[in-house]
Copies of this chain bind each other. A is one copy, B any other.
Amino acid sequence: MATEIVIGIDIGGSLTKIGLVSRDGKILDKKIFHTEAHLPYSDFIRRLKKEVDGLTSKLDAKTHILRIGAGASNANPLTGNIENPPNLKWGKTIPLVKSLRKNFKLPVTIANDANAAALGEMVFGTAKGMRNFVTLTLGTGLGSGIIVDGTLLIGEHGAAGEIGHVNVDPNGRMCNCGLQGCLETYASVTGIRRTVFELLANMREDSSMRTYSFEELNGENISDAALEGDIIALRAFEKTGEILGSKMADTVAHLDPEAIILSGGLSKAGDILLKPIKTSMKRYLFNAYRGKIKVLLSKATRSDAVLGPAALAWLEIEKRES
């Protein structure tokens, strides 16, 4: 019997991940390489072609590749371009769909990487069976994807779901996007690092955090310290959860979702983060929603990054089949 697969591609600022993914979400083969976003876009496409061909050349004749799904920060499904990406130095408008179609002679669907991640959760992951939910990816930044009635919310200009850039404090932290006080400057791995440094400046307590430079500090060592009872690390998680929980209540007041699902580096801290989030969200939640909104941790791992783009491709295929 013939096997049908799609190619899922996740283009990140540092790593690009490729996966051959079956309809039931099995990753049959995969490859990760450095995006090297400082080199020209044509170099990236050449490398991508080489790596994809490397994977597909191993397939037998009975395996049919149906479609490519690709996710990248600021990828716009309405234009087919990556637009003004903050982490890719390839220009203002990168014709992703056009390049992929030309190089692979396959139909292509693209989406913002965080939006694709939401589809991955719906089709293969923690949100299986859900029709209304929001995913927040707490990594270097804060990416988000909104699913309404089983469909990805795209918006009028293809740019819905930028919850990382709702405002926490007009006089708050400088954001990479040029604004000040965006949620992602607080609720992300980078955000909690900034919070730890703020607390180290403001508090007097001893802390293992005092031995790290800003560059050395990361989600894992802050989590580890918190688990060992480090007061600065714990307070940093509390503050992060407090801010994120209050903004999650605002998101609920827009969308009334079944669940908000947290993924990404910071979510690995588990209950240390989840507890202050839930306390804070409860405090700010409008009464119509109380006791109704789940806050869940994603079961996805880092290598599952290709499942979002793959889900994007599979959903498009199913839409065309029906």
Contacts and interface: CB of A to CB of B under 8 A. Distances in A.
A231 interface: no
Contacts of A246: 167, 170
Nearest to A181: B284
Contacts of A132: 155-156
Interface stretch (A55-63, A202-210, A247-255): A247-255
A243 to B, nearest CB: 10
Given A162-B288, A166-B250, A148 B157 contact: no
B254 A157 contact: no
B256 A254 contact: no
Contacts of A131: 156
Nearest to A159: B288
Given A83-B288, A177-B287, A148 B159 contact: no
Interface residues of A, number: 45
Contacts of A151: 149
Q: What is the predominant secondary structure among interface residues of chain A facing chain B? A: loop
B155 A253 contact: no
Interface string A149-165: 10101111111111101
A258 interface: yes
A284 B172 CA distance: 12
Given A159-B289, A167-B249, A170-B246, A146 B284 contact: no
A131 B178 CA distance: 29
9 contacts: A133-B156, A160-B256, A161-B254, A162-B254, A163-B254, A166-B249, A166-B250, A178-B287, A182-B286
The 8 closest A-B pairs by CB, nearest first: A155-B256, A160-B256, A165-B286, A132-B156, A166-B250, A156-B258, A159-B288, A162-B253
